[in-house]
Amino acid sequence: MHKNRLKAAAKCDKGIVRPINQDQVFFSLEPIGYLPNLFVVADGMGGHRAGDLASSEALRYFREYIEDHSKEEDDIIVLMKTALQMANRYIYYLSEESPAYRGMGTTFVAVTVCGNYLYCINVGDSRMYRLKQAAETPLTLDRVTIDHSVVELLLRSGAITEEEARVHPQKNMVTRAIGIDETVEIDDYVIETSDLKRILLCSDGLSNMLPDLEILKELSAERSVEETADRLVDEANEAGGKDNISVVVIEFAGEEEIDA
């Protein structure tokens, strides 16, 4: 049988303006419980250090739940969504313990690749993009996830344009986040990997700074995943670096034979 050969790199930077970094990134090319690999970006929000706590604890709880409960659930999406729902509840109760933590939360986008499919879940406005190439067509970039934000609602209603969305004064206002309520609605996506070249997970510190054409340019360049992650963060900082910047770059490097 075959499995995808993956390469990955991550970079997390506080940017130029923000005094602290409330983002978290994680990736493992080795199994995490039932999942053969795992890639995550979380963008925390809240008062001083509360956003940092929300993103780091949500990520920790999510990973540990998957490791501890994989034998109970072999449906990948159900396992990932249950783990994130439980992490959401944990962050919500944690926020109730101290006035300093009240209202803290985090966005969350997570991906695993298993066989010929990629599985993704997300809450908030951290994104997943895919770079793909079908047959002999040029490389194309499209955003898979839908932002849970005020600006996304305005954009989809036709009230503003893509360019206006990037500079809108409410662009940082999310309509869903982990830890804000006791339960949360989680989006999920399952896509085939046959035409995928690269996947990008990122916080809005990247997507608010760089237009999609610039992201396409960097992702499609002949560079390693490590160099690509560095370039994306550098470009976002050169564009202003107004927020924390997190990226995870995943590359599909063909298939390899494994024992059945």
Digit-coded pLDDT (tens) for 43-60: 999 876 799 999 999 999
Amino acid at 200: L
Which domain range does residue 58 map to? 2-253
Write the DSSP symbol of residue 185.
Answer: -
- Residue 23 to residue 126: CA distance in whole angstroms: 10
Q: Residue 257: what pLDDT?
A: 46
In a domain, 94, yes or no: yes
In a domain, 32, yes or no: yes
Q: Residue 236: what pLDDT?
A: 98
- Residue 184 to residue 38: CA distance in whole angstroms: 21
pLDDT greater than 90 at residue 8: yes
Digit-coded pLDDT (tens) for 132-159: 987 677 899 999 999 998 888 887 788 8
Lowest mean pLDDT among 20-29, 120-129, 160-169, 198-207: 160-169
In a domain, 52, yes or no: yes
Digit-coded pLDDT (tens) for 209-239: 999 999 999 999 999 999 999 999 999 999 9
In a domain, 260, yes or no: no
Q: Residue 155: what pLDDT?
A: 78
Q: Residue 194: what pLDDT?
A: 92
Write the DSSP symbol of residue 100.
Answer: G
Q: Residue 83: what pLDDT?
A: 98
In a domain, 7, yes or no: yes
pLDDT greater than 50 at residue 198: yes
- Residue 236 to residue 49: CA distance in whole angstroms: 23
What's the domain count of the chain?
A: 1
pLDDT greater than 50 at residue 174: yes
- Residue 223 to residue 148: CA distance in whole angstroms: 32
In a domain, 128, yes or no: yes
73 against 211, higher pLDDT: 211
- Residue 35 to residue 79: CA distance in whole angstroms: 9
User: Tokens in use for 210?
Assistant: 């760089």
248 against 157, higher pLDDT: 248
* ∠ CA 219-156-119, rounded to 5°: 50
In a domain, 259, yes or no: no
**b/e per residue 95-131 (b: at least 16 CB within 10 A):** beeeeebeebbbbbbbbbbbeeebbbbbbbbbbbbbb
CA distances from 30 to 39, 82, 113, 241 (A): 11, 21, 11, 32
Q: Residue 260: what pLDDT?
A: 41
As a residue count, the chain comes to 260
- Residue 122 to residue 103: CA distance in whole angstroms: 19
In a domain, 258, yes or no: no
Per the prediction, the chain carries an average pLDDT of: 92
pTM for the structure as a whole? 0.93
Q: Residue 255: what pLDDT?
A: 60
Half-sphere exposure of 70 (CA within 13 A, CB side): 12
The CATH number that applies at residue 115 is: 3.60.40.10
Burial of 260: CB neighbours in 10 Å, binned 0-12, 13-18, 19+: exposed
- Over range 19-37, report the average pLDDT: 97
CA distances from 251 to 33, 73, 180, 191 (A): 22, 28, 33, 15
